[in-house]
Amino acid sequence: MPNIHLSDFSGPLLQIIRNPVLRCVGRCKDMKGYSISGHLHPDATEILYIVRGDGSTRVGAVDYPLTPGTIAVYNPGVEHAETFDPHSPVPYFYHLKFNEFVISGLQPSCLLPGGLPPTFAAGEEGAHIETLMKLLFAEVEKQRLGFDQIAQSLLLSIMLMILRILDAEHAHIEKAESETLIVQIQQYLERHYTEELSMKEVADHFHINYYYLSHLFKNEIGISPASYVNALRINEACRLLCVSRLPIYRVAEMVGYGNQSTFQMQFRQRKGVSPMQYRAYYDHNDLMIPGTDYLPPAKTPSDEGGQKKKP
């Protein structure tokens, strides 16, 4: 098993530095023998919580069981395929997709630490997670006053419970000293990413060599510190595009880009669409999966030869 370093829940690792943005809520309850072929979500984490049914999910050529009380977590870009036994009880599960969050010790918009299996038992937290899922789904389904804020709070609670489960299962693994520094750097970048940042200045702030900073970040987080900063900026830009009508140049300025052309280029590289296309997509798509069931992602205009592309 890979050498994974996690701290206890009161420590700096596995703390939510930036809150998530809920993108999709779904439920499957009346589809006997449900299955979906391999698919992935390039810029969102997905969670499944199994209430009823027996099946499996294939990730990286390995089949992991899906049974009542199981949680499945897929980080962005992780291909997965779920299949339920047609001879078992009709599957019943909830699923959520969300992004634009940061957890200390992990890449932006990633919930599952590297090296851990994508499925695990909810254990004694299962009843609480199921209740939170039901409440979240009901809020989004009814869409009464304040539903969006309540839904975000419920999502945050679900994420924290999942981190608590992961911590309890892996608390025996010793924490590396370098991770404390990584978390400090992540928190520093979170506070200053909107400013004109030089990685040499960041290294000097922590009294380390720039090359050591780059090596440490790539080794522990998996990307360079400059890529991490760009991810923070684009994540915040996505949030602003969805919750405000600010002009694109102003969004670029607010997240730390002095040049709108650079912002447009970075945004398209990371999201596959322009900022305007991203805003337009979420303007016309609500949180509910069609028919309240978990279905394969609907085809977008780009899939059918059009210009618009789903973020």
Listed by start position, the domains of the chain span 16-170, 177-283
Q: Which residues pair with 72 in a beta bridge?
A: 48, 119
Residue 4: the pLDDT is 46
Whether the pLDDT of residue 296 is over 50: the answer is: no
The arithmetic mean of pLDDT across residues 152-157, rounded, is 96
Q: CATH assignment of 177-283?
A: 1.10.10.60
Reference 233, options 275, 180, 205, 200; nearest CA is 275
DSSP string, 274-306: -HHHHHHHHHS--SBPGGGS--PPPPPTTTTT-
pLDDT computed for residue 177 by the predictor:
47
Structure tokens at 225: 């510190």
Q: Whole-model pTM? A: 0.79
Q: Which residues contact 238 (CB under 8 A, 6 or more apart)?
A: 21, 99, 100, 271, 278, 311
> CA 36 to CA 48: how far, in whole Å?
13
Q: What span, in angstroms and rounded, lies between the C-alpha atoms of 24 and 35? A: 19
224: confidence class by pLDDT, cuts 50, 70, 90: very high
What's the token pair of residue 32? 């006997």
- The mean pLDDT of the chain is 84
pLDDT tens-digit map of 169-222 = 765 444 444 467 888 899 899 999 999 888 999 999 998 999 999 998 888 888
- Which class does domain 16-170 fall in? mainly beta
SS3 call for 78? coil
134 pLDDT band, cuts 50/70/90, is very high
Q: Is there a common fold for 16-170 and 177-283?
A: no
